[in-house]
Amino acid sequence: MRAKIVAGNWKMNKNLAETETLLAELSAKLPDSTAEVMVAPAYVNLASAVRTLDNSKIEVIAQNMHYAESGAFTGEISADMLLNIGINTAIIGHSERRAYFAEGDEILSKKVVAALKNGMRVLFCFGEELEDRKSGNHFKLVESQLKNVLFSLEPAAWSKIVLAYEPVWAIGTGETASPEQAQEMHAFIRKTIADAFDATIANNVTILYGGSVKPGNAEEIFSKPDVDGGLIGGAALVADDFIAIIKAI
Ligand code: 13P
């Protein structure tokens, strides 16, 4: 059985005091769930978040990481730095990193390889823009995003990979993919992986949906057979909303 996951990507929100407040509220209200729960606060607050959640089932993860081991990369953070403060998972390939920080397949490949080499788990994000969907190019685009970054990996690497399909047109827009659109794409992703590797890898990989998931639509999206949870932006910043989404799974 593949893992169910609900992850909150806080993006550039919440200072230290606000981070501590939200984490305390989440810890106090966390429901008993078989799903894994993750939160990704901003870099400067990661170490403190790990300490705060020391006895909690919530895993703290990073929003990004650099591919180099160390060196002259002003402003960047390495895998070793994350591991050293107790972070074992990094989001890689978020559409905002792709769009605003020019992270393309080549850089993302290096990041994924570096994370895996350091024994980290990768939450790999990808998804099409609105124009791709309108022109019917969305399946091709998603296939190439997967292929260019993940298909040269060793089969064993897949035990450390979680996928998050996030159609760019649904991120922060309030417009979510319909449960049918999410299921259709997730099934396509699983088939693409089965074709490139094998059915066992495809069936075992967790595929999250991200893009305007809210308490009101989470249950229907999560009910789809190939949707294994969600990567949540805006709604992860409000404790009651995030808790409701965890309960929906
Ligand atoms: P929203 O839930 O705010 O649409 O953001 C989704 C997202 O980008 C999570 O990484």
Q: What is the pLDDT of residue 173?
A: 84
Q: Is residue 43 part of a domain?
A: yes
The pLDDT of 133-161, averaged and rounded, is 97
Question: In whole angstroms, what is the distance from residue 225 CA to residue 61 CA?
Answer: 26
Token pair in block for residue 5: 């996951």
Q: What is the pLDDT of residue 171?
A: 87
**172 confidence band (pLDDT: 50, 70, 90):** confident
Question: In whole angstroms, what is the distance from residue 100 CA to residue 115 CA?
Answer: 22
Question: In whole angstroms, what is the distance from residue 217 CA to residue 163 CA?
Answer: 20
CB 208 within 8 A of CB 164: yes
Would the pTM count as exceeding 0.85? yes
Question: In whole angstroms, what is the distance from residue 238 CA to residue 71 CA?
Answer: 37
- The active-site residue out of 59, 66, 94, 143 is 94
Residue 6 corresponds to which amino acid? Answer: V
The pLDDT of 43-60, averaged and rounded, is 96
Q: What is the pLDDT of residue 167?
A: 97
Q: Is residue 85 part of a domain?
A: yes
pLDDT digits (tens, 9 = 90+) for 202-237: 999 999 999 999 999 999 999 999 999 999 999 999
Separation of CA 71 and ligand 1 centre (Å): 32
Query: How many domains does the chain fold into?
Result: 1
Whether 193 shows a pLDDT value over 90: the answer reads yes
Q: Is residue 131 part of a domain?
A: no
Nearest protein Cα to ligand 1, atom 1: 233
Domain at 79, CATH number: 3.20.20.70
Which mutation among 168, 171, 214 tests ligand 1's pocket best, with the greatest number of atoms within 8 A of CB? 171
Atom of ligand 1 nearest to the CA of 172: 4
pLDDT digits (tens, 9 = 90+) for 55-70: 899 999 999 999 999 9
Q: Is residue 133 part of a domain?
A: no
Question: In whole angstroms, what is the distance from residue 38 CA to residue 41 CA?
Answer: 10
Range of the domain at 176: 5-126+139-247
**Percent residues over pLDDT 90 in the chain:** 96
Helices (H), the chain: 16-29, 46-52, 79-84, 95-100, 105-117, 130-134, 138-150, 179-196, 199-204, 215-222, 239-248
Nearest protein Cα to ligand 1, atom 7: 233
Q: What is the pLDDT of residue 136?
A: 95
Q: Is residue 31 part of a domain?
A: yes
Among positive and negative, which fits the CA dihedral 138, 144, 149, 153? positive
The pLDDT of 96-119, averaged and rounded, is 98
Q: What is the pLDDT of residue 197?
A: 98
Known catalytic residue: 220? Answer: no
Q: Is residue 132 part of a domain?
A: no
Separation of CA 106 and ligand 1 centre (Å): 24
The reply, when asked if residue 104 is annotated as ligand binding, is: no
pLDDT digits (tens, 9 = 90+) for 233-247: 999 999 999 999 999
Separation of CA 223 and ligand 1 centre (Å): 19
Separation of CA 154 and ligand 1 centre (Å): 30
Known catalytic residue: 138? Answer: no
Q: What is the pLDDT of residue 231?
A: 98
Q: Is residue 160 part of a domain?
A: yes
**Percent residues over pLDDT 70 in the chain:** 100
Q: What is the pLDDT of residue 48?
A: 98
